[in-house]
Chain A
Amino acid sequence: MHLNDDERRIADGAEGPAAAMAMRLVAETGRLLGARRLLPIASAHVDGCLYHGDSGTYFAERLATDGGHVVVPTTLNVGALDLLHPERVKGDAHHREMSLRMMRAYEQLGCRPTWTCAPYQAGHRPAKGSDVAWGESNAVAFCNSVLGARTNRYGDFLDVACALVGRAPDYGLHRPENRRATVVVDASGLSAALCNADVFYPVLGTWLGAEIGAEVAAIVGLPPGQSEDRLKALGAAAASAGAVGLFHVVGSTPEASTLAQATQEGTTRTIRLTGEMVRTARDRLSTAGDGAVDCIALGSPHFSEAEVAALRRLAAGKRFRIPVYVCTRRDLVEKSDLSDLEAAGAVIVVDTCVVVTPILPVSGGTLMTNSGKFAHYGPANLGYDVVYGSLEDCVASAVAGRVVREERVWQ
């Protein structure tokens, strides 16, 4: 690992102890990864602001008291509190205090208090081909795959360390040759109805994460021009089920106008998806079957304007029998009137989400979701059973007070 004069000067403390510690962490991680140098970055997205325990708060406060300040535009992922609706979080006083201290420390470092796992839908959209340092697995997958900006999966601490020094190790997905698809996933054998259903995409992501992992896949056989929200759902599920940092969807993502572009004309192997493979992946997302349901959780990643609009259309004139938690960005809530959804029985959650923060009743039960990521993490993080279904299924179930699922699309 070679540090240039400027980087060495920072590591030696010329810009203060926080920048020095940050540079050491970036350089040490780069060495581990076999990087030979650091790259300048255009922006950062910090996932480290979610409270997992006191140690993370102490780390952020150490950087802040040591005079740290980010040197590139930096957004913040979710925290462990809903700052607009603090009464919704059930954590004890210690949890609340330490979470708030942590969130404030990251603000003090100069990060933008966006508090969202979908920063790319809150105006943070780095240019195609630019190098950035992003954390949060879904945001990383989206940034690489859908925006075509280049980032590795920067974990907590490294994300803010990169932001404080404006550098990241030159390795992995920063290098064009590593962005090449080595496996082709052929969806052309699946029904058109399935490929045109939103509910398919988190399932495809779950399959991709579990079967392909950190390899780069090019998915072919899907209708071109897939929506940003479908690609977001695919990536979030893939990055929950496996170490997926980049995928290409030929005809939909910016480095895959053609299959040849996605594979950089190199050799690949091909996997043909069958209906049975897809149904098996779908079934992995549920730990409960049809029957009682206690709540609905939507918005992992945070719901977009289009997803909120779709929910509104489905919920118009309806009344939910069970709570429907809608996790979304504060900037969306601040510019929208969501009183119709709240009147129907929706609970709007911002700055955080129900899987990382204690918001649901502790009694447990069954949660239904259209999110592959919620379905993946729900059982371990919440102690709830999970039923996976489409947004339409979720709304129908909320109205009926029991699981209602449309099976036809899967046949």
Chain B
Amino acid sequence: MTKLAGEALVAGHGAGPILRIDHPISFWGGVDPKTARISDPRHPRHGERLTGRVVAIAELRGSSSSSAVLLELIHAGIAPAAILLRETDAILALGALVAREMGYGDLAMVKMSQRDFSLLSEGRHAHVEGPRVALD
């Protein structure tokens, strides 16, 4: 087991297999809020479903409505198990913060260092607890 620690952008816990997204992605226009699948046909991970996975996102881009898409995923019970980022993203974190205010639950969001992010390989099982990330 590999134990890593990042910065808890939004406190929470969750576990699941890693879905690694290296190509920049926008939640709005890039993730279908009804199915939690990557919906942009030009994205290399098109068709992958975020639900229940620890989603490692190298770079977010685009619309300021991405927080609304994340809130909708959490409200609908089809959110990722946790989200690991390489950069702080206030837009995405806000979706999780509003979910907490509205009583929909906590989604853990952790910012990782460059080095630790590179260890997040596709399919590896990850447990996220606050700032800590353990890889099986």
Contact = CB atoms under 8 A, between A and B. Distances in A.
Contacts of B99: 55
B75 A155 contact: no
B30 interface: yes
A50 interface: yes
Given A29-B90, A29-B93, A380-B39, A135 B64 contact: yes
A56 B102 contact: no
Contact of A58 (B34, B76, B90, B102): B102
Interface of A: 21, 24-25, 28-29, 32-33, 47-48, 50, 52-56, 58-59, 62, 135-137, 140, 152-159, 209, 213, 239-243, 287, 376-377, 379-381
Contacts of B28: 52
Contact of A243 (B42, B62, B68, B97): B62
A159 B42 CA distance: 30
Nearest to A33: B90
Contacts of B9: 32
B67 A380 contact: no
B24 interface: yes
Contact of B101 (A25, A135, A213): A25
A156 B70 CA distance: 11
B97 to A, nearest CB: 6
Contacts of A28: 97
A54 B69 CA distance: 11
A53 B33 contact: yes
B94 interface: yes
Nearest to B32: A380
20 contacts: A50-B65, A50-B68, A52-B68, A52-B69, A55-B71, A56-B68, A58-B102, A59-B98, A59-B102, A136-B65, A137-B62, A155-B67, A155-B90, A155-B95, A157-B68, A158-B67, A158-B90, A241-B62, A242-B24, A380-B39
B71 A154 contact: no
Given A25-B94, A28-B97, A379-B42, A55 B75 contact: yes
Contacts of A157: 67-68, 71, 94-95, 98
A154 B89 CA distance: 11
Contacts of A154: 64
Given A53-B75, A54-B72, A157-B71, 16 more contacts: A21-B101, A25-B97, A28-B97, A32-B88, A52-B28, A52-B65, A137-B64, A140-B64, A156-B71, A156-B94, A157-B94, A157-B95, A213-B24, A243-B61, A377-B29, A380-B40
